[in-house]
Amino acid sequence: MNIKSIVAAMFLLFSSNLLAAGKEIAITIDDLPFVGSANNDPKKLQREHDRFMAILQALVDHKVPATGFIIAGSIEKGQWELLEEFRNQGFQLGNHTYSHRSLNSVTPEKYIEDVNKADEILSRIMTSPKYFRYPYLAESKGEKREKVYQFLAEKNYTIAPVTIDSKDFIFNNQLFAIPYRLRPQSLPALKKRYLNYIWGQTLKAEARSNKLHPGTSKQILLIHANLINSHFLGDIIDMYQKNGYRIVSLNEIINQENMPVAGEVSGVVRSLFKQ
């Protein structure tokens, strides 16, 4: 091998290592304890328990951090213990309101009342710093948005943005549409479609990041506590790690100088991050 080839190889190695060093992602999981309602039906609650534990086990097995966002009004019989186990395993828990209403559909006063109700219930289980995630990522606009921002700041909440939306509800609905006895044979094809979609979303997020901060990719992934992720969260983690991503906590992403680029993150929200 001549000197030019050696230099070229070293440059490629250095470039790939530099890019990999700049690729980080935080996993956030909405709608804890679990998507939907079991209506306190014992059989449904057991299924939700098992699926929640599968999600938790994937995180534990891969030894990666994550942040979950709780709908306080959706906690059913025996599910508080699931949230405690999530926290006790070292994962973060934040507020996702009491009723999971969109800010676009209610007054700011009603929304603030709903968030505050959740805050009172969740105060003994939420971790620090306090994180808030808007249901449907709906921050509204104008005076309504500013009123809620101010309330969240007064309550010492940090708003958790999203840069990669998995749209997992689409694939989750597809999985539920498959008859139960046919699901095992359908999982490989569904997994491929789901992971390909997430990776496509990731590449778009990387492109946005590189425009502002070349050579870096600081991302926040949104998924939900649902059936499809009880099957595939481990595969999602593997996919990111194989593509050079380091999975870090939400704290690490938000506290960095190069904030993640999110389509709906405004200057006001950025200022809240710094408080």
Residue 10 belongs to a domain = no
Residue 143 belongs to a domain = yes
Residue 187 belongs to a domain = yes
Dihedral angle sign, alpha carbons of residues 125, 74, 110, 94: positive
Residue 209 belongs to a domain = yes
Residue 83 belongs to a domain = yes
Let me know: does 56 contact 85? Beta carbons within 8 Å.
yes
Residue 4 belongs to a domain = no
Average confidence (pLDDT) over 156-176: 98
Residue 18 belongs to a domain = no
> Of 197 and 11, which is predicted with more confidence?
197
Calculate the alpha carbon distances from 191 to 50, 90, 116, 161, 200 in Å. Answer: 20, 28, 38, 26, 14
Let me know: does 254 contact 131? Beta carbons within 8 Å.
no
Exposed, middle or buried: residue 53 (CB in 10 Å: 0-12, 13-18, 19+)?
middle
Residue 274's pLDDT band (cuts 50, 70, 90): very low
Q: Which secondary-structure segment (H or E) carries 220?
A: strand 217-224
Count how many domains the chain has: 1
Average confidence (pLDDT) over 75-87: 98
Average confidence (pLDDT) over 74-103: 98
Whether omega for the bond prior to residue 129 falls within 30 degrees of 0, making it cis, is yes
Residue 17 belongs to a domain = no
Q: Which secondary-structure segment (H or E) carries 25?
A: strand 23-32
Torsion angles phi and psi, residue 87, rounded to 5? -65, -40
Query: Which CATH number belongs to the domain containing residue 122 in this structure?
Result: 3.20.20.370
Residue 97 has pLDDT above 90, yes or no: yes
Residue 256's pLDDT band (cuts 50, 70, 90): confident
Residue 270's pLDDT band (cuts 50, 70, 90): very low
> How many residues can be counted in the chain?
275
- 65-77 pLDDT tens trace: 999 999 999 999 9
Q: Give the relative orientation of helices 168-177 and 183-212 as an angle to the nearest 10 degrees.
A: 170
Work out the mean pLDDT of the chain and round it to a whole number: 90
Average confidence (pLDDT) over 109-132: 99
What is the rounded distance in angstroms from the CA atom of residue 85 to the CA atom of residue 99? 23
What is the rounded distance in angstroms from the CA atom of residue 264 to the CA atom of residue 75? 29
- The residues pairing with 70 across neighbouring beta strands, listed in sequence order, are 32, 95
pTM as predicted: 0.88
Domain that residue 265 falls in: 24-274
Let me know: does 160 contact 131? Beta carbons within 8 Å.
yes
Average confidence (pLDDT) over 177-204: 98
- 16-50 pLDDT tens trace: 444 455 899 999 999 999 999 999 999 999 999 99
Let me know: does 27 contact 91? Beta carbons within 8 Å.
no
